[in-house]
Copies of this chain bind each other. A is one copy, B any other.
């Protein structure tokens, strides 16, 4: 990352999403409109597939685009270790190699999450002071947004790792949502102390003590499921098991409501008039929820910027993920994290000693 000229090189894995490379090329075209003149996008995938698509989109001579040939692709059923061994030439793995070698500043992929997390961790490696990566979702709330971390990278999270997630989430909130002093809540059942088990109690004690010694984020205490969409915290910290299940359940519910509505409209087309009349309202609500705006989930804690786009992303979603990578690079969030983690880890050792006394 070159902070002086603010020019960033982002590798885009073109072979991972459900909608195929053509949709990714459309996403690249959309993203280019908003990127800065010095930025570069490196499209990683099968060159014989990508070149005609770029020509079709009128992008084949665009100086901001490069193609890096990768003959293989990760599928949705591949497993991390297997993929690392037998699919060294898959687009996602090649993109990670480029990030590791410093040829790019970020990787954006809509591919297999498990391989992304597993192979990403091994290839790109953990940031100093961090033990496990954390997948991060940006969720709407009544006013503003909540960052939820972890939503699936690390299902069995220790108290120390939950503290790390708090630090990474708070830094991300400051950098990307311009939060002044983020309020971090610990997701559990019931907000009184002693509920939720040993892991929650320890994390709660650590975060309480830690934020007495730190001035750049605040600990709001334990929060409940209701607070995910209705609360007033900026960051919700949880383990990757709970976070993943919450996120996917919510996605399933939204999907079900959409299906129910469209099924009813098909049964009785008269409803279409009501929907037309309500169109600006529905659009405004959708705008407030803005799923496209946050088409990516950053994988925090690695030695490099990795953004996971939703597997079913269309061009708008993937374009949003590319722009998210660009904005995250520009914010400098990654460069601040190792120092913050190292300070927090030192404090955590002190706190543990004091607690043991």
Contacts and interface: CB of A to CB of B under 8 A. Distances in A.
A254 B229 CA distance: 9
Nearest to A254: B253
A275 B271 CA distance: 10
A188 B244 CA distance: 9
Contact of A155 (B197, B271, B285): B197
A189 interface: yes
A291 B246 CA distance: 20
A226 B245 CA distance: 8
Contacts of A249: 225-226, 228-229, 246, 249-250
Given A260-B285, A274-B278, A229 B252 contact: yes
Given A245-B246, A288-B260, A253 B229 contact: yes
A257 interface: yes
Bin chain A's interface residue count. Answer: 35 or more
A238 to B, nearest CB: 8
A37 interface: no
Interface string A228-246: 1111000000101110111
A226 B248 CA distance: 5
Interface SS of A by simple majority: helix
A252 B273 contact: no
A281 B265 contact: yes
A190 B268 CA distance: 38
B256 A281 contact: no
A114 interface: yes
Contacts of A246: 225, 245-246, 249
Q: Which 3 A-B pairs have the closest CB atoms?
A: A225-B248, A274-B277, A274-B278
Interface of A: 79, 114, 140-142, 152, 155-156, 187-190, 192, 195-197, 224-231, 238, 240-242, 244-257, 259-261, 264-265, 268, 270-271, 273-278, 280-281, 284-285, 288-289
9 contacts: A142-B256, A189-B245, A225-B252, A230-B256, A242-B245, A245-B246, A257-B285, A261-B285, A271-B280
